[in-house]
């Protein structure tokens, strides 16, 4: 390089450096009030609403972090939110770091606000006047090095959750204070928030309480820096007459329950929430522990958690209104076996995750054979898989795999059941009774519906139950063989052997065809034909029975059985109930005009085919 070239480069470098120096000095001395109009336009574009500023004055003549005195700031409401101002403040002190402006970053830092009012509105459709860009997730406030507030009113109106609050906010050397009153639906509440002075970047301790006539929520913890709600941890205690009362505050999409009281530890790092040591009661149900991580950092919320309950009564998972509706439905539909549990996943179409659930003891005001539950729930793209799924009974286990699939925006979910029943007895399922025999079974069904009952009522597949050997009252065994004589005169305490009970139902579109239904005892054999409507659980069966020994009084025509699974109604043919019918049975016996006697069924082979 020639001396002339080096001289030229040196002059260019000096010129650039001098220009930058002059620019920096100009920024340090800039009379920022001249940019008031530009500031109004920038804020108006950001909030999509008219913005006016009375004046902007600089404090001091030279600084790389000049103080600006902004007076009479007013930001109007968006059109949908009505008239008036969203923000109206008499005086705002702002610090403006000027060096970042060189790289295109303008980041004013508010330091003080005096005599102002903020009106925050959320409409029924979810629009928020403080969040004009719904496609971006709003994550709460960031940290502040310092903030002094005097006589600031925060007016919050939420039509979506039906809640309202008006708070007076002050912050000075004595600390941060916000307090006021509001309501959650029809419940009046008082709100109080206290924190350390907003100064510096150290962890900021705070306490908050919401107290109502039904609801009480208390939080105590800290944020990474003052008012930095994206990095915080706190202990939470909550109580309400209904979990919906608490959900009006935390907005977790919860459901109605009996009175609830819970406590736990909550933390947040950016978009990841963590819940730990959660315990408490819902009605008479008792939550031992719960741990969960909720990640809202992407378009789909991800949940990973473990839930353990020492005691669970499913009726606690409905409030009084829900219980009344369920009771009315039970009264209208009558006793049912298949529950009306909702399985619609449309409200969870943007949630994925895994939840492990364990219930140590199930309780109910009804006689139920179920005692505990263990299950892993995996939700992926509107497809819920419960696998493994195991329900412990007084005796035996019901388990297998359950899948609820509502992918692709389906109007109704598809339910797939693949369940087995093992190690139990007929008496366990029946809640007692006189039959003592082992019982095992299986169910493979697929159907669509918003509830389990509706989906099973439209399902296709197979159901099987196999029982025996065991014991059965002799009187009942004789009647099953339509042996009226022995049934009437048998000893009440006499016992017969139940060789087997075989049930195989081929299900199509909610109609179950018996293939077969057979009861084989040491005294008789009965075969049932016909169908069961799984939508209503109504029976349309016909029973034909035969004794295994000669009988004087014997029915020889099929017995129709109507009613429901829970309440079967056998209907004995009319001609056998009068004197003439009885005399005819005796005459048939004397004349030898009677069907052949039953022989022992191939219980082992029938059981294998039924369960195959």
pLDDT tens sequence across 112-129: 889 999 999 999 988 888
Q: What is the mean pLDDT of residues 70-97?
A: 87
- Two tokens, residue 360: 């140590």
Q: What is the mean pLDDT of residues 215-238?
A: 93
pLDDT value of position 29: 47
Query: What DSSP character marks residue 578?
Result: S
Alpha-carbon distance of 179 to 329, in angstroms, equals 45
User: Are 287 and 280 in contact, with CB atoms under 8 Å apart?
Assistant: yes
Alpha-carbon distance of 422 to 274, in angstroms, equals 39
**3-state SS class at 120:** strand
Asked, for residue 203, whether it belongs to a domain, the answer is no
Asked, for residue 154, whether it belongs to a domain, the answer is no
Q: What is the mean pLDDT of residues 601-607?
A: 95
Asked, for residue 547, whether it belongs to a domain, the answer is yes
pLDDT value of position 237: 96
Residue 136 has pLDDT above 60, yes or no: no
Alpha-carbon distance of 421 to 397, in angstroms, equals 6
Alpha-carbon distance of 239 to 260, in angstroms, equals 6
Asked, for residue 513, whether it belongs to a domain, the answer is yes
Q: Read off φ and ψ for residue 205, nearest 5 degrees.
A: -75, 145
Note if the bond before 367 is cis, omega within 30 degrees.
no
Residue 384 has pLDDT above 90, yes or no: yes
Asked, for residue 572, whether it belongs to a domain, the answer is yes
| Percentage of the chain exceeding pLDDT 70 | 83
SS (H, E, C) 380-434: CCCEEEEEEEEEEECCCEEEEEEEEECHHHCCCCEEEEEEEEEEEEHHHHHCCCC
pLDDT value of position 575: 46
pLDDT level of residue 16 (50, 70, 90 thresholds): low
- Of the segments 22-26, 93-97, 445-449, which one has the largest average pLDDT value? 445-449
**3-state SS class at 77:** coil
Give the range of the structural domain holding residue 478, as residue numbers without chain letter: 461-611
Gyration radius (Cα) of the chain, Å: 37
Asked, for residue 568, whether it belongs to a domain, the answer is yes
Across the chain, what does the average pLDDT equal?
A: 85
Stronger pLDDT, 426 or 1, i.e. the higher one:
426
Beta-bridge partner residues of 204: 223
**3-state SS class at 292:** strand
Asked, for residue 257, whether it belongs to a domain, the answer is no
Q: What are the pLDDT digits (tens) for 405-447? A: 999 889 999 999 999 999 999 888 877 677 889 999 999 999 9
Those residues with Cβ within 8 angstroms of residue 34's Cβ, 6 or more apart along the chain or in another chain: none
Stronger pLDDT, 97 or 515, i.e. the higher one:
515
Q: What are the pLDDT digits (tens) for 190-206? A: 999 999 998 777 899 99
Q: What is the pTM of this model?
A: 0.78
| Percentage of the chain exceeding pLDDT 90 | 51
Residue 585 has pLDDT above 70, yes or no: no
Q: For the chain, what is the domain count?
A: 1
User: Are 369 and 394 in contact, with CB atoms under 8 Å apart?
Assistant: yes
Stronger pLDDT, 103 or 95, i.e. the higher one:
95
Residue 361 has pLDDT above 50, yes or no: yes
Query: What DSSP character marks residue 312?
Result: B
How far CA 545 is from CA of 330, 436, 558, in Å, comes to 34, 21, 8
Residue 24 has pLDDT above 60, yes or no: no
Asked, for residue 519, whether it belongs to a domain, the answer is yes
DSSP string, 470-521: EEEEHHHHHHHTTBHHHHHHS-TT-EEEEEEEEEEEEEETTEEEEEEEEEEE
Identify the helix (H) or strand (E) that includes residue 454.
helix 452-456
Residue 561 has pLDDT above 60, yes or no: yes
């Amino acid at each position: 390089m020639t001396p002339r070239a080096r001289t030229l480069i040196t002059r260019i470098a000096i010129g650039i450096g001098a220009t930058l120096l002059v620019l920096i000095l100009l920024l340090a001395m800039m009379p920022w009030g001249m940019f008031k109009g530009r500031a109004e336009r920038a804020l108006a574009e950001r909030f999509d609403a008219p913005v006016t500023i009375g004046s902007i004055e600089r404090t001091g003549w030279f600084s790389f972090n000049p103080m600006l005195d902004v007076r009479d700031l007013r930001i109007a409401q968006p059109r949908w939110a009505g008239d008036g101002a969203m923000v109206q403040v008499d005086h705002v002190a702002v610090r403006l770091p000027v060096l970042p402006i060189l790289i295109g970053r303008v980041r004013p830092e508010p330091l003080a606000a005096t005599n102002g009012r903020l009106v925050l509105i959320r409409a029924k459709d979810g629009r928020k006047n403080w969040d004009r860009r719904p496609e971006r997730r709003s994550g709460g406030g960031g940290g502040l090095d310092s903030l002094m507030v005097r006589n600031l009113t925060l007016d919050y109106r939420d039509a979506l959750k039906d809640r309202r609050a008006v708070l007076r906010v002050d912050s000075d050397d004595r600390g941060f204070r916000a307090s006021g009153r509001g309501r959650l639906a029809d419940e009046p509440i008082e709100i109080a928030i206290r924190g350390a002075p907003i100064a510096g970047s150290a962890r900021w301790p705070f306490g908050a309480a919401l107290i109502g006539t039904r609801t009480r929520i208390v939080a105590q913890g800290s944020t990474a820096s003052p008012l930095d709600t994206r990095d915080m941890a706190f202990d939470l205690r909550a109580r309400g007459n209904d979990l919906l009362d608490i959900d009006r505050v935390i907005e977790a999409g919860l459901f109605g329950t009996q009175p609830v009281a819970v406590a736990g530890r909550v933390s947040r790092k950016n978009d990841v929430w963590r819940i730990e040591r959660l315990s408490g009661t819902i009605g008479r149900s008792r939550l031992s522990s719960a741990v969960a991580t909720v990640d809202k950092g992407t378009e789909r919320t991800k949940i990973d958690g473990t839930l353990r309950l020492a005691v669970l009564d499913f009726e606690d998972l409905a409030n009084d209104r829900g219980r009344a509706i369920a009771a009315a439905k039970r009264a209208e539909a009558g006793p049912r076996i298949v529950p009306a549990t909702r399985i619609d996943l449309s409200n969870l179409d943007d949630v994925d995750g895994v939840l492990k659930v364990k219930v140590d003891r199930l309780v109910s005001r009804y006689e139920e054979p179920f005692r505990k539950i263990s299950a892993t729930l995996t939700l992926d793209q509107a497809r819920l898989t419960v696998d493994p799924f195991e329900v412990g009974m007084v005796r035996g286990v019901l388990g297998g795999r359950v899948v609820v699939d509502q992918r692709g925006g389906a109007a109704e979910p598809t339910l797939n059941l693949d369940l087995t029943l093992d190690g139990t007895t007929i008496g366990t399922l029946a809640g007692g009774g006189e039959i003592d025999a082992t019982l095992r079974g299986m169910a493979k069904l697929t159907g669509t519906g918003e509830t389990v009952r509706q989906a099973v009522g439209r399902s296709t597949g197979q159901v099987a139950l196999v029982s025996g050997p065991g014991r059965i009252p002799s009187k009942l065994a004789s009647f099953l063989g339509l042996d009226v004589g022995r049934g009437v005169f048998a000893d009440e305490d006499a016992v017969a052997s139940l060789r087997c009970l075989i049930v195989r139902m081929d299900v199509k579109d909610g109609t179950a065809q018996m293939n077969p239904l057979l009861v084989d005892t040491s005294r008789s054999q009965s075969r049932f034909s016909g169908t069961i409507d799984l939508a209503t659980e109504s029976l349309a069966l016909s029973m034909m029975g035969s004794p295994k020994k000669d009988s004087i009084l014997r029915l020889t025509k099929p017995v129709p059985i109507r009613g429901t699974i829970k309440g079967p109604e056998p209907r004995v043919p009319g001609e056998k109930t009068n004197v003439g019918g009885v005399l005819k049975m005796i005459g048939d016996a004397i004349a030898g005009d009677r069907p052949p006697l039953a022989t022992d069924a191939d219980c082992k082979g029938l059981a294998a085919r039924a369960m195959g």
